[in-house]
């Protein structure tokens, strides 16, 4: 049911400075930089093979990502796994008493259904689970 790592997200103070390392020095390719207003972040998408590194710069001081950055500093923010049946995965996690950020999947503007697992239940790592929209016949 867990298919692959879709992306690894890293929270940074400044996208410009982070890109100086991840793009210029490390050599990852930058696909695009785009605002994600619903998460109050600007994201730099950097594809690597069939997965992606995402750099997150919070753009509001009271957002969840901004609080994370203040509290824990720069570094790994979350790992996102693509799943084939998010309802089945969610049922299994609930059954096991896992703490979730959202009890039901939320749908983003691209039609993906998302659930976040609280780091308390995942050994300190925020985990995002996502199911891609089913493509019409």
CA–CA separation, 57 and 41 (whole Å): 5
C-beta of 65 vs 93, nearer to Co ion: 65
* 80 forms part of the interface with Co ion (CB under 5 A): yes
Contacting residues for 95 by C-beta, under 8 A, at least 6 apart: none
With CB under 5 A as the rule, give the number of residues binding Co ion. 3
C-beta of 24 vs 75, nearer to Co ion: 75
C-beta of 96 vs 110, nearer to Co ion: 110
Stretch that binds Co ion, among 1-9, 20-28, 59-67, 94-102 (CB under 5 A): 1-9
Stretch that binds Co ion, among 7-15, 16-24, 33-41, 57-65 (CB under 5 A): 7-15
User: 3-class SS at 3?
Assistant: strand
Query: Can you list the positions of beta strands (E) in 12-133?
Result: 32-36, 41-48, 51-58, 75-83, 106-107, 113-117, 126-131
Stretch that binds Co ion, among 36-44, 63-71, 80-88, 97-105 (CB under 5 A): 80-88
Q: How many helices (H) and strands (E) does the chain have?
A: 3, 8
Q: How many CA atoms lie within 13 A of 6 on its CB side?
A: 16
Binders of Co ion in range 91-130 (CB under 5 A): 128
Considering the complex, what minimum distance in angstroms separates the CB of residue 82 from Co ion? 11
Which residues would be at the binding site for Co ion (CB under 5 A)?
9, 80, 128
């Amino acid at each position: 049911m867990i298919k692959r790592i879709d992306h690894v997200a890293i929270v940074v103070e400044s996208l410009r400075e982070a890109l100086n390392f991840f793009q210029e020095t490390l050599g990852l390719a930058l696909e695009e930089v785009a605002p994600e207003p619903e998460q109050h972040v600007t994201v730099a998408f950097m594809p690597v093979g069939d997965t992606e590194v995402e750099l997150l710069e919070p753009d509001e001081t009271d957002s969840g990502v901004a609080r994370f950055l203040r509290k824990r500093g720069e570094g790994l923010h979350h790992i996102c796994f693509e799943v084939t049946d998010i309802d089945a995965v969610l049922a299994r996690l609930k059954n096991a008493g896992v703490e979730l950020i959202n009890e039901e999947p939320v749908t983003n503007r691209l039609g993906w259904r998302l659930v976040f697992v609280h780091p308390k239940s995942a050994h300190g790592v925020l985990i995002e689970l996502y199911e891609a929209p089913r493509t019409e016949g």
